[in-house]
Structure 1
Amino acid sequence: MTGHLNIYGVYVPTLLAMMLGAYLLKAGLRTLLTRLGFYRFVWHPPLFNLALYIIVLGVIFTFVPGLKL
């Protein structure tokens, strides 16, 4: 992988695409956790959301094969 994605002639950095995917997954997880009432047990929800985003981004980064930045 070259580090760039070609989307209709526009080169987008792979990391940017992964960050967008991680944000969308985190938003879905946040909605699910809110509906389950999980945030009643969380001390600082914005800090938890940031940590959740970093974990999701790390998982995506780990499972993309052949990534060389």
Structure 2
Amino acid sequence: MTPLVLGELDVDGVFLSSVLVSAVIALAISFPLRRLLAKVGAYRFVWHPALFDTALFVILWAAVVTVPSPLKF
């Protein structure tokens, strides 16, 4: 099994790591999701909101990284 090489993104001659790009996408998704969770009142059931937000970001980041990649067995 060969490792998945993520590569880089070229933006007008500036190379950006795909890790940075995926993290920014996950962060952009997490802001409206956190606002929605706060509006619904889900944070009443959370023991530590900052820890919950960090875990939510990590889960979204993992989803952004894994969803577009093809599955290899």
TM-score for both structures, normalised by structure 1: 0.87
How is 1:1-69 mapped onto 2 (pairs within 5 angstroms)? 3-65=7-69
RMSD: 1.4
Looking at CA atoms only, which structure, 1 or 2, has the larger radius of gyration? Answer: 2
Percent of aligned pairs with the same amino acid: 36
The worse-fitting range, judged by mean Cα deviation, of 12-21 and 57-66 is 57-66
| Equivalent residue pairs, number | 66
| Runs ≥4 residues deviating over 3 A | none
In the alignment, structure 2 segments of 5+ residues that lack a partner are none
User: Quick one: higher RCO (CA 8 Å, sep 6+), 1 or 2?
Assistant: 1
In the alignment, structure 1 segments of 5+ residues that lack a partner are none
Q: Which structure's residues are more often helix, by fraction? A: 1
TM-score for both structures, normalised by structure 2: 0.82
